[in-house]
Amino acid sequence: MNNFNLQYVDYYLPETILSVKELVDQVDEHVIPPVFETKADYLMFTKDILEQEKVLVETGVSEVEMLNGLLTKMFNETEIKPADIDLIVTCQEGNQNTSESFVKCLQQEHKMTNANVMNISGNHCANVPVIWDFINSMQSSMRNILIVAVNKTENPNDRVLGAYGILSDGAGIVLLSGNPGICSIQSQVKLSNGSLYKVDMNKDNSLLHYKYMTAGVKRLLENNSVPVDSLVCVIPQNANIMLLSKVAMGMGIDTRKIFTQNISRSGHVDSVDFIINLKDILDEGKLKSGETMLALNMGWAGSYVSSLITVN
């Protein structure tokens, strides 16, 4: 098994901010989950349960332009050259608005002429850690792999994900290589429930989600003989934080270790959440070599992913 380490991570967030109330005023009534009698009830839910009061909306630049800026910065700040990139992996779902050829635009713009291109999707918010683990499992001579993730939602109605979350816009990049790096995935457990492929996000599936997430975390910690007290922090996604908090509590993990700062700051940016939270945790500079983080990710269609990430 290869061990691809994190070399570089960065993200882009828009400057335009809408309050959740402003967004909800724009959406059609049928978009509000029927469990809420009024928009006011839904707004109370987003504040008290989702802990989200604002949405970041990109109005000035495209998905390609968001990622172009990040890549230009990466190539300027690191010794990596465009020709060194062996593989570009995207994680766009089929229903997202991103142009199918956007990665080819990036490849041409930055002259990443040696790179193969692959898309891995289906795990929604959990796509990035799944890709990282998959890359570790590949028997390949490739050394430098770039993961790109972007979300830009045009229709306000599409930002409301039932009772699960509200989508913000943003983009992120991750550079992995076989060289020593900042951190690496030590182990991962993925559980999938294919029966949720037609899940109705307006219905409460919390018990089912809790069951699978807890089972995954338990198996991960037991497989690696990791005591919960040794975990220095928990990387969540910026949606359904109450569910993830209950999973942590059920496993005896101190919920104060959950990194929640970006829930109110950026909101939910689909698969980019993992990139945003990982970068901000690393940028705090508090972690020491050998310490272990737990990442909790869940895709609404039935993907439950728990990862142990070790600081190098």
Residues 235, 148 within the same domain: no
Look at residue 41 and tell me if it is in a domain. Answer: no
Residues 147, 237 within the same domain: no
CA–CA gap between residue 297 and residue 307 (Å, rounded): 8
Residues 212, 283 within the same domain: yes
Selection from 223, 138, 140 nearest residue 187 by Cα: 223
Q: Which of 56-65, 127-136, 204-213 has the lowest mean pLDDT?
A: 204-213
Residues 63, 191 within the same domain: no
What mean pLDDT comes out for the span 125-131? 91
Look at residue 30 and tell me if it is in a domain. Answer: no
Picking from 129, 158, 177, the residue at the C-terminal end of a domain is 177
Summarize pLDDT for 168-181 with one digit per residue, the tens: 999 999 999 999 99
Look at residue 289 and tell me if it is in a domain. Answer: yes
Q: Which residue has the higher pLDDT, 121 or 288?
A: 288
Picking from 145, 177, 209, the residue at the C-terminal end of a domain is 177
pLDDT at 127 over 80: yes
Look at residue 28 and tell me if it is in a domain. Answer: no
What's the confidence (pLDDT) of residue 88? 95
**Domain count within the chain:** 2
- Residue 153 backbone phi and psi in degrees, to 5: -110, 120
Look at residue 221 and tell me if it is in a domain. Answer: yes
CATH number, domain of 234, equals 3.40.47.10
CA 200 from chain centre, in angstroms, equals 21
CA 47 from chain centre, in angstroms, equals 21
Q: Which residue has the higher pLDDT, 303 or 71?
A: 71
Residues 239, 104 within the same domain: no
What's the confidence (pLDDT) of residue 203? 63
pLDDT at 122 over 90: no
| Residue span of the structural domain in which 10 resides | 5-15+55-177
Residues 146, 11 within the same domain: yes
Average pLDDT, the chain: 91
Residues 167, 205 within the same domain: no
Look at residue 33 and tell me if it is in a domain. Answer: no
Look at residue 24 and tell me if it is in a domain. Answer: no
Residues 11, 151 within the same domain: yes
Look at residue 42 and tell me if it is in a domain. Answer: no
Q: Give bridge partners of residue 190 from the DSSP assignment.
A: 305
Residues 232, 169 within the same domain: no
Summarize pLDDT for 24-51 with one digit per residue, the tens: 999 999 999 888 999 999 999 999 888 8
Picking from 158, 177, 196, the residue at the C-terminal end of a domain is 177
Residues 148, 187 within the same domain: no
Residues 189, 160 within the same domain: no
What mean pLDDT comes out for the span 273-297? 97
The encoded tokens of residue 255 equal: 């919920």
The encoded tokens of residue 267 equal: 């909101």
Residues 118, 212 within the same domain: no
